[in-house]
Structure 1
Amino acid sequence: MAPLICSSRIPAVFTVIILMTVVACGVQNDNEAASLARREHYAEVIEVRTAPVVRGSFARELITNGRLRAVTEATVHFRVNEMIKEVNVINGQWVNKGDLLAVLEEFPFTSRLERALDQVERTRLELEDVLLGHGYFLRDSLRVPEHIWNMARIRSGYNAALNDLAEARYQMSGTRLKAPVSGVIAGLEAKPHNHSSAYQNFCVIVDNSQLEARFPVLESETSMIAAGQTVEVRPFAARDKSFSGKVTGFDPRVDEQGMVMVRALVDNPAGELIDGMNVQVIIKREMTGQLIIPREALVLRQGRQVVFTLQDSLAMWNYVETGLENSRQFTVNEGLTEGQEVIISGNFNLAHETRVKRAD
């Protein structure tokens, strides 16, 4: 008689069989999905742009911030104090050297000038009397001995009168305020019918046709800078605009922060830059014999630098080690050779041996 199978074990056996079937189906489905994904992956052709790896001169860049200052700037003061009669300029107006800016009340100064002229005439008569006392005429001044001539000028008060006349003329000229340099009027606050003593100065004249960029660099970076070197200046207010400048020199002192102040001359013929403007300064220095790739070619994968190269319509994964960099390029120390085609677009989602084609 055949042995009886325990009925309690039958459900357990069926359960194991069912679980094994489900797992097998799942593995098969996963394998099919992976296979399908690979087929789809290799079937998709991604369009990319490329650029060659070249060996040549690399423009090393030093980027810093600075400020523009006018090369020519003059603060115009009132030389004498009196009521302001006229103000002939406004802020922002261009003036040429010698232009009349303002006029003060002239009467007190014309009166003093006239008195000084009278005093000169009186002392001239006194001078002639003193010379006559020594046997000489004023018209014969070239024959008068020097010691007698000097004594007569002093005793008559003629020298003092001439000094007073010169001072009166100088003060009289101060009633007509003229531009000492050409430039744009700034900081003008003075108004007619006010006393000149109410203002610290009349205005400032700024010549913006040529500006000086002043910017700090680290003391370790001064080796990149030399007098006459070209720099690029970009105002923060208009970053799309660029101006060329030349280094004129730098302060041979290092400040407490380890910085050295550099100065560069910037031409501004169109007047787009103004005194006090904040700017970005880019200093470039050519370094020859460098292996160079565009910045767009480099991507980061798991914290490492990767560049994809185009080889037989496939994107090939290359680990690289870069050196120097600027706003457009990297230098490569390891991982690439001259002449290889690196992918510079569509490379963020590429995998090794992804099928690609070069864009027209």
Structure 2
Amino acid sequence: MIKLKNKKAIWFMVISVIVIAAGTSYWLKNKNQAENTEVQYEQAQVTRNDIVVGFDSDGTIDYSKVNLRFGVKGTISEIQVAEGDKVNKGDIIAKLNDKDYQDQYQLALARLQDAQEEQQTSLLNDELSIKKTESDLQLLKDEYQEMEAIPDAYSANDIKMKKMELDNKETEYQNMLKQYELNKNKELQQDELQVKMAQEDLEDTILYAPVSGVVLGLSAKVGESLTDEEDFAIVHESNVVKAVTNVIEYDISQIKVGQKVYVTAEALPDQKFAGEVSKINSLPSEDSSGLVNYSVEVTIKDPSPELKDGMTCSVSFILKEVNNCLIVPYKSIRMVDGKQVVTVIDRSGQQVDKQIKAGFTDGNEVEVLDGLNVGETVVYQK
């Protein structure tokens, strides 16, 4: 019985040691965790910067391109530019062989000159006829007036017949005057139109640059033929660079023509280009995932030559922006007794609380309207 009692005592001592060891281990573990979860602080300087709120959309750089074609068909006789050349508005791009059009123009001119000569002859004959009719009319007037002056010397029927003859001659005379005016004004219209059309065709054998810019491409060479429906050259209008992006239906209501945007090309990540919305397409499109999108066109205000047609870019639509304002981290502001407060490090290195007046925020940075100066350091819980 004594041996059994000693065994119980030994087991009690072993269990006690295990419990004490486990408790010590648990206390040490909690102590280490408490030390590891101590509050950490960060510091930030008060600076001046912009705060921008908006959303981004992927897009593509799109040059403003003008497709050029001749106004008539023909064979290219001369090309005065090459791809990559700069051109000014009004510069000659290329010419067609104009021999046939010169011939047509000269033929139309000759026909017009012949018609003018014929018209002059015809009008001269008309004038002679008018003068004779005018003389005959005057003679009839004199005869009729004489018969009216001494009616007893003539029968009533003779006077009546003379009056009818006079009226008919007057009508004939007026008709001749009207026809003369019509012949003078209308007879050459068709020939003049033919000359005008032939002259326009001749002028259309020369292709001019309608805008100043850079020649992006030429579709034919000297000696090759083109129709008046085929483009010959593509010119990128100088300083007109756009970005095109698709905006989902949930965001399109936030966009308006004239709205400010920033464009950043993936190939030029350190350059941000300002622009504005120039066009919003009213017709929707649907992507492969079923989302409804609207095409939005943005005009870049001061594009760089480094921006190339077709580059992938990000278009940032600005909903609100505050420029050159004092900013601090959003986390640095606390509410104390209903007041906005930050902790700053003073000149002696001590931490002191300062009341401020906060303004606009994007959720990360806050505009400081009053209470802080550039260069001050704020301290806040991480």
TM-score by length of 1: 0.64
Q: Which residue of 2 aligns with 1:180?
A: 210
Q: Which structure 1 segments of 5+ residues have no match?
A: 137-143, 299-307, 315-322, 332-337, 348-360
In the alignment, the residues of structure 1 paired with residue 33 and residue 241 of structure 2 have an alpha-carbon distance, to the nearest angstrom, of: 63
8 Å CA contact retained: 2:123, 2:183: no
The structure 2 residue matched to 1:325, chosen from 352, 362, 369, is: 362
The structure 2 residue matched to 1:22, chosen from 18, 24, 29, is: 18
Q: Which residue of 2 aligns with 1:343?
A: 380
Counterparts in 2 of 1:219 and 1:160: CA distance versus 1, 3 Å: same
Matched, 1:241 2:271: yes
Q: Which residue of 2 aligns with 1:61?
A: 54
In the alignment, the residues of structure 1 paired with residue 195 and residue 96 of structure 2 have an alpha-carbon distance, to the nearest angstrom, of: 20
Output one character per residue of 1:310-349: Cα deviation in whole Å (capped at 9) or x when no partner.
89999xxxxxxxx9736x5379xxxxxx9894538xx3xx
Counterparts in 2 of 1:198 and 1:228: CA distance versus 1, 3 Å: closer
Note the C-alpha offset of 1:8.
Answer: 5.4
Counterparts in 2 of 1:16 and 1:116: CA distance versus 1, 3 Å: same
The structure 2 residue matched to 1:283, chosen from 312, 318, 334, is: 318
In structure 1, give the amino acid aligned to 2:56: I
Matched, 1:114 2:106: yes
In the alignment, the residues of structure 1 paired with residue 251 and residue 37 of structure 2 have an alpha-carbon distance, to the nearest angstrom, of: 48
Q: Which residue of 2 aligns with 1:151?
A: 183
TM-score by length of 2: 0.61
Note the C-alpha offset of 1:166.
Answer: 1.4
Matched, 1:83 2:79: no
In structure 2, give the amino acid aligned to 1:63: D
SS in 2 for 1:193: coil
The structure 2 residue matched to 1:267, chosen from 301, 314, 322, is: 301
Q: CA RMSD in A?
A: 4.7
In structure 1, give the amino acid aligned to 2:193: N
In the alignment, the residues of structure 2 paired with residue 310 and residue 21 of structure 1 have an alpha-carbon distance, to the nearest angstrom, of: 52
8 Å CA contact retained: 1:130, 1:152: no
Q: Which residue of 1 aligns with 2:43?
A: 49
In the alignment, the residues of structure 1 paired with residue 184 and residue 115 of structure 2 have an alpha-carbon distance, to the nearest angstrom, of: 10
8 Å CA contact retained: 1:66, 1:281: no
Q: Which has the higher helix share?
A: 2
8 Å CA contact retained: 2:105, 2:198: yes
Q: Which residue of 2 aligns with 1:170?
A: 200
Q: Paired residues, what number? A: 302
Q: Which is greater in Rg?
A: 2
Counterparts in 2 of 1:297 and 1:202: CA distance versus 1, 3 Å: farther
8 Å CA contact retained: 1:217, 1:260: yes
